């Protein structure tokens, strides 16, 4: 998965070191969750589903609308709206004096609007929190495992002076929500979570049956120190709720540019960047976490590497493990691995060039396994364009989703058509500053026999302008759900951070791996090739 984003050739972005290494480790290292706690959580959820109307009625809910009025803590009156829609749409609005506070997730990106402010796209943890909220409310806790949500029993708690049973719901991205149940009615009496970066608590009361489903008609919302006492005046199940409800406000959108021309320029810019960045080396840290089925961390590993680029690939050398430097013997093994990696890449590049030359001589264009711009444009459709500020940059932001009319043939086309997400493009440089994407369906490799990347697997990539010369990666994150070789599914999270970029001359590589004090020693011969290995202070020109 390290080069997964390079599979989307129009961006030519590299995500991170391959997380399939995690999968292989996880296949060997087995672990089990506490059966008693898991059974207790399952029992509480089952009781709730039955009390709320039964799994059959709850699973038929395509959309849910709650509308009401409220009085805020300062005595101001307003209106409340909640809309959800399968599979993962969510919209909540508080309106006071024609000023709206909104939280929304449209299935591709999360956005919010503060009272009297302009709407903006949420990134990082805030965006993931809204995504998890959307998944939770659309699940109605019917078969949470199906959407990769883990539910664990926390214990007993007090809600409004009464005993309640507390469960923790963990989304595939690791976002957690606390849900409290009444032991007698088995209905939800309270929810607590961080949503869009703000702590929220919601208390429920006065449940009434609507289309066979029990819904609360009194809601007490606590948010950012404010309290809203909401009386629900309208509750509708599976009514008409259009997609536009969840989309970024139309009045704040801009005209979508010529995507073919924009992506072509992005592609050309990235190709130029690929050449320049081979003059740079840097450091990166990587945190890998494997999870139990209930969301608990099974294994955590932190590593640190030095790296440089060769023929468009990251060449990395491990230098620290869990904060500790490697022994001399282990470092030598890592250096040897790097040398082998370089040799492999050089051989691969030579074969590629020979194959391309042969195709040119035959008057044919070499078939590429990577999806190009044309494939991406045909496999996806682009919506909700807007202009925003991102990390001090003026960016064009737009969402993308699968094009239902596109008929994929190759594996790469099938992969691209399974993607949905949001992209931030620097309007001045025409470079991708940030990309978020997730799989809307399972991606089967070799018919699922080799691997099955599961629905909801997601990744994030960021890059920045370095040394006033070149765009380089700064951050990568992946949340992976996979079934490998038809065995038990694995859940993992990988976070990669890049820093300490330094410009170097290829001629200095032969001195970088030398011991201290050997800078003036004769350089290694050109074969085997010079290697940028672990050093305290690499020679920089």
Give residue 274's pLDDT: 84
Q: What is the pLDDT of residue 39?
A: 65
Q: Give yes or no for a contact between 317 and 307, defined as CB atoms under 8 angstroms apart.
A: yes
Percent of the chain beyond pLDDT 70?
Answer: 82
Query: Which residues, at least 6 apart from 450, have a Cβ–Cβ distance to it below 8 Å?
Result: 484, 485
Answer yes or no: is pLDDT of 101 > 50. Answer: yes
pTM: 0.77
Residue 365 confidence (pLDDT) above 90: no
pLDDT > 90 in the chain, percent: 52
Secondary structure (3-state) at 241: coil
Task: Label residue 487 by pLDDT band (50, 70, 90).
Answer: low
Q: Which two tokens stand for residue 470?
A: 């070149």
- Whether 287 shows a pLDDT value over 90: the answer reads yes
pLDDT band at 146 (very low <50, low <70, confident <90, very high): confident
pLDDT of residue 397: 93
pLDDT for position 164: 96
Higher pLDDT, 296 or 22: 296
Confidence of residue 37 (pLDDT cuts 50, 70, 90): low
User: Residue 284, SS3?
Assistant: strand
Radius of gyration of the chain (CA): 26
The 3-state secondary structure of 245-262 reads HCCCCHHHECCCCCHHHH
Q: How confident is the model at residue 65 (pLDDT cuts 50, 70, 90)?
A: very high
Give CA 435 to chain center in angstroms.
Answer: 9
Separation CA 380–CA 399 (nearest Å): 10
Strands 280-291 and 226-237: unpaired
List pLDDT tens digits, range 182-239: 999 999 999 999 999 999 999 999 999 999 999 999 999 999 888 999 999 999 999 9
Asked if residue 45 has pLDDT above 90, the reply is yes
Nearest to 120, CA basis, from 395, 357, 320:
395
Q: Which residues contact 481 (CB under 8 A, 6 or more apart)?
A: 148, 172, 453, 454, 455, 456, 457, 489, 490, 491
Q: Identify the weakest region by mean pLDDT among 140-154, 468-482, 515-529.
A: 515-529
Which two structure tokens, joined as six digits, stand for 409? 């043939």
Distance of CA 322 to the CA centre of its chain: 24
Grade residue 18 by pLDDT with cuts at 50, 70 and 90. very low
Per-residue pLDDT, averaged over 482-492, amounts to: 71
Q: For the segment 492-527, what is each residue's pLDDT rounded down to a tens digit?
A: 899 999 999 998 755 445 444 433 333 333 333 333
Q: Following DSSP, what letter does each residue of 112-165 receive, concatenated?
A: EE-TTS--EEE-HHHHHHHHHHHHHHHHTTSSGGGGT-EEEEEEEEEETTEEEE
The pLDDT value recorded for residue 484 is: 66
β-pairing, 213-223 vs 198-210, is antiparallel
Q: How many helices (H) and strands (E) does the chain have?
A: 9, 26
| Predicted pLDDT of residue 224 | 84
Residue 23 has pLDDT above 60, yes or no: no
- State the pLDDT at residue 305: 95
Specify whether the CB–CB gap between 461 and 15 falls below 8 A: yes
Among residues 204, 217, 185, 214, the alpha carbon closest in space to that of 47 is found at: 185
Cβ neighbors of 299 (< 8 A, separation 6 or more) are 25, 26, 29, 288, 289, 290
Residues 109 and 422 sit within 8 Å (Cβ to Cβ): yes
Q: What number is the average pLDDT over the span 33-37? A: 49
- Domains of the chain (ranges plus CATH)? 4-28+251-363+370-512 (no CATH), 61-237 (2.50.20)
- CA 159/CA 202 separation, integer angstroms: 11
The whole-number pLDDT of residue 8 equals: 33
Average pLDDT value for the chain: 82
User: Lowest-confidence range among 19-28, 258-267, 323-332, 390-399?
Assistant: 19-28
Task: Please tell me what DSSP assigns to residue 62.
Answer: S
- CA of residue 403 relative to chain centroid, distance: 21
Average pLDDT score over residue span 352-375 = 71
């Amino acid at each position: 998965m390290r080069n997964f984003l390079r599979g989307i050739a129009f961006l030519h972005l590299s995500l991170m070191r391959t997380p399939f290494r995690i999968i292989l480790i996880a296949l060997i290292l087995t672990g089990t969750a506490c059966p008693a706690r898991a059974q207790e959580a399952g029992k509480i959820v089952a009781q709730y589903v039955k009390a709320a109307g039964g799994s059959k009625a709850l699973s038929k809910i395509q959309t849910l609308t709650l509308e009401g009025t409220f009085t805020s803590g300062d005595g101001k009156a307003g209106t409340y709206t909640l809309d959800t829609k399968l599979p993962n749409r969510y919209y909540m609005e508080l309106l006071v004096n024609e000023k709206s506070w909104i939280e929304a997730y449209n299935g591709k990106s999360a956005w919010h609007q503060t009272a009297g402010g302009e709407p903006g796209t949420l990134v990082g943890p805030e965006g993931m929190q809204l995504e998890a909220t959307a998944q939770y409310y659309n699940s109605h806790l019917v078969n949470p495992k199906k959407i990769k949500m883990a539910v664990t029993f926390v214990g007993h708690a007090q809600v409004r002076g009464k005993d309640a049973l507390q469960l923790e719901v963990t989304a595939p991205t690791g976002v957690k929500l606390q849900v409290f149940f009444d032991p007698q009615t088995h209905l939800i009496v309270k929810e607590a979570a961080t949503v869009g970066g703000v702590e929220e608590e919601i208390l429920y009361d006065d449940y009434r049956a609507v289309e066979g489903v029990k819904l609360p008609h009194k809601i007490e919302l606590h948010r950012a120190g404010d309290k809203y006492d909401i009386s629900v005046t309208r509750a509708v199940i599976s009514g008409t709720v259009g997609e536009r409800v969840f989309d970024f406000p139309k009045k704040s959108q801009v005209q979508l540019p010529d995507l073919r021309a924009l992506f072509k320029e992005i592609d050309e810019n990235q190709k130029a960047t690929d050449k320049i960045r081979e003059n740079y080396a840097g450091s990166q840290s990587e945190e890998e976490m494997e999870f139990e089925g209930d969301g608990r961390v099974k294994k955590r590993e932190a590593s640190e590497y030095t790296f440089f680029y060769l023929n468009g690939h990251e060449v990395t050398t491990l230098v620290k493990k869990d904060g500790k430097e490697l022994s001399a013997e282990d470092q030598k093994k890592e250096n040897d691995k790097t040398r082998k990696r370089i040799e492999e890449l050089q051989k691969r590049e030579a074969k590629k060039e020979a194959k391309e030359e042969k195709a040119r001589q035959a008057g044919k264009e070499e078939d590429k396994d990577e999806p190009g711009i044309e494939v991406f444009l045909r496999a996806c459709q682009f919506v909700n364009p807007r202009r925003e500020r991102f990390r001090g940059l003026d960016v064009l932001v737009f969402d993308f989703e699968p094009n239902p009319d596109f008929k994929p043939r190759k594996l790469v086309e099938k992969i691209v058509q399974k993607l949905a997400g949001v992209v931030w493009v620097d309007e001045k440089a025409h470079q991708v500053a940030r990309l978020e994407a997730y799989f809307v369906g399972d991606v089967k490799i070799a018919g699922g026999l080799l691997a099955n990347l599961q629905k909801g697997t997601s990744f994030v990539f960021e890059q920045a302008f370095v040394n006033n010369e070149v765009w380089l990666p700064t951050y990568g994150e992946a949340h992976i759900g996979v079934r490998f070789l038809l065995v038990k599914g694995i859940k993992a999270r990988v976070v990669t951070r890049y820093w300490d970029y330094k410009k170097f001359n290829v001629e200095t590589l032969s001195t970088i791996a030398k011991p201290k004090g050997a800078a003036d020693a004769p350089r290694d011969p050109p074969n085997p090739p010079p290697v940028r290995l672990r050093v305290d202070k690499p020679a920089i020109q």
